[in-house]
Amino acid sequence: MTRSAYNALLLACVLASGCLVGPDYRTPPVKTPPSWGEPLPSPETSLQEPAPATLWWTVFNDPELTTLMEWAAADNLDLEQAAARIRQARALRTVATAALWPNANARASYSRNRSSSNAPGPLAGEQFDLYQAGFDASWELDVFGGNRRAVEAANAQLEAVQFQWDAVLVTLLGEVGSNYVTYRSLQQRIRIANENVKTQHDTLELTQRLFAAGLATDLDVARAESQVATTESAIPQLTAQARQAMHRLSVLLGQPPMTLADELAPVGPIPEGPPAADVGMPSDVLRQRPDVRSAERIVAAATAEIGVAVRDLYPRFFISGLGALQSVSASDLFTWGSRALSIGPSISWIAFDAGLTRATIALRTAQQQEQVAAYRSTVLQAFEEVEDAMVAYAEEQVRRDDLATAVKANQRAADRAVQLYKQGLTDFLSVLQAQLNLFTSEDEFTQSRRDIALDLVALYKALGGGWQRDEAAGAGERSASGSAG
């Protein structure tokens, strides 16, 4: 290689290490409120300290719920699909990185040849063998950084997919928590319905005795029978809903629908958490929510793709080389005289493409702008979900306390109505109404307790809790990494 060729090659390598076409990425600015607008109950009034969003289900102090969470994180099929997408993104990054390195191809061949009798030269009309063995190599000098932008895009896309795995985990844990709370609340509603059926049966028997003694009418007996049947009719529907919640829990754990039938058969309490939660600041959501972080990484990838497209406006530089052994005799193939060498630079530049390159740049720019808007929308949606969950959680606690008072009052009213009816001091319709009010208030109170737990689950999900790799999702992420090999 001549001195001038060597200097040119050295200059190209220097340029390849420092020039990058296309825009450099900067995180898009978003409007972040300084504080939350919907306050929670003061932590000072809590019986427990507010828990962080990391392992949020532990605030319920329910070992069964914790077991289900761990089981779901290990075996859920949606997580397995997300892990496979991570492996795909890693493979695509390797494909992009390979373009930064030379590629070489080894080859060997043998051919039996006959030249044309009318060809010029001493071998005209001769037959001969040709043995060849060697390799050829080519390396694109990434002078304008197009290949490095492609690697940058692949890295950002891999990070986005990893955060999508985390987002799947957040959604999964929220679904497990919600379905478990729903299942336990249905068990409690069924228990309350059965207790009311028993009470109403007692009232029916009392009415039948009074009717036999001539102290009540057949209308009272019919009303009592109707109330018992009406209350009993609610139980099959509640039972079906409970079984469906159990089926859903089993499938979330990656198991057949009836897997948890025996384990969850005993009636358990509705999980209850503290009155307050550690929600942090709105800016924390940008760090905690994996869907927000994934959206931001997608913007970074789209920005790098602009540079990949811009690269085609500039020439592309290559160094190609060939090293081979060629001989008409197999015995001479590996001798020094059989060597054949070739090395040299080349340049390729698109002279005319009917506007394809600039249209591609415009396309990538518009796609990047779309992703910026999508990122900002994701952030706003995250803030909205947190605010909604906070106000629902706080206000439902007030409703629950009012319903607790109503249950106590209706219990007194029902007991008193039965006493007065036995003494003949009130009509049977008052007894029926009092018992109906009691059943309704008890059922609503149970549903309110359920809604409080569901609102707390929704709040932690909105905060992005449960995905942190070093604590909650470490096992699953390691599983995703291990499967790649």
pLDDT for the residue 164: 95
- Domain extent, residue 337, equals 103-141+316-348
| Beta carbons within 8 Å of 17's beta carbon, 6+ residues apart | none
Residue 357 reports pLDDT greater than 50: yes
**How many Å is the Cα radius of gyration of the chain?**
37
For 20-88, give the DSSP string: --SPPP-PPP----SS-SSPPPPGGG-SSPPPPSTTGGGGG--HHHHHHHHHHHHH-HHHHHHHHHHHH
- C-alpha angle 467-469-474 in degrees, rounded to nearest 5: 110
Looking at residues 37-58, what average pLDDT do you find? 61
Q: Residue 1 domain-assigned?
A: no
pLDDT band with cut points at 50, 70 and 90 for residue 53: low
The number of CA neighbours under 13 Å toward the Cβ of 451 is: 20
More confident residue, 9 or 133: 133
Mean pLDDT calculated for residue range 397-404 = 96
The region of weakest confidence among 131-140, 373-382, 390-399 is 131-140
Q: Is residue 404 part of a domain?
A: yes
Q: Terminal CA-to-CA distance of the chain, rounded, Å?
A: 43
Domain identity same for 283 and 374? yes
Residue 205 lies in a domain: yes
Q: How do residues 409-456 score in pLDDT, each as one tens digit?
A: 999 999 999 999 988 899 989 999 999 999 999 999 999 999 999 999
151 and 213 in a single domain? The answer is yes
Residue 397, pLDDT > 60, answer yes
Q: Which of 1-15, 90-104, 357-371, 391-405 has the lowest mean pLDDT?
A: 1-15
Whether residue 305 sits in one domain with residue 250: yes
In this prediction, residue 344 carries a pLDDT of 85
- Same domain? 278 vs 383: yes
Q: Are 285 and 386 in contact (CB under 8 A)?
A: yes
For the chain, percent of residues with pLDDT exceeding 70: 89
**Would residue 377 count as lying in a domain?**
yes
Which whole number is the average pLDDT over 27-51? 69
Of 325, 348, 371, which marks where a domain is finished? 348
Tell me the mean pLDDT in the region 12-22: 64
Give the per-residue pLDDT at 167. 94
Mean pLDDT of 282-291: 91
Half-sphere exposure of 79 (CA within 13 A, CB side): 29
**Is 369 in the same domain as 252?**
yes
The pLDDT of residue 207 is above 80: yes
Residue whose C-alpha is closest to residue 440's, from 184, 241, 196, 185: 196
How confident is the model at residue 162, as a pLDDT?
95
> Does the pLDDT of residue 475 top 50, yes or no?
no
What pLDDT was estimated at residue 46?
Answer: 41
CATH number at residue 178: 1.20.1600.10
Please say whether the beta carbons of 96 and 151 come within 8 A: yes
Domain count, the chain: 2
Residue 479 pLDDT: 42
Mean pLDDT value across the chain: 87
Domain boundary among the residues 327, 348, 369 is at 348
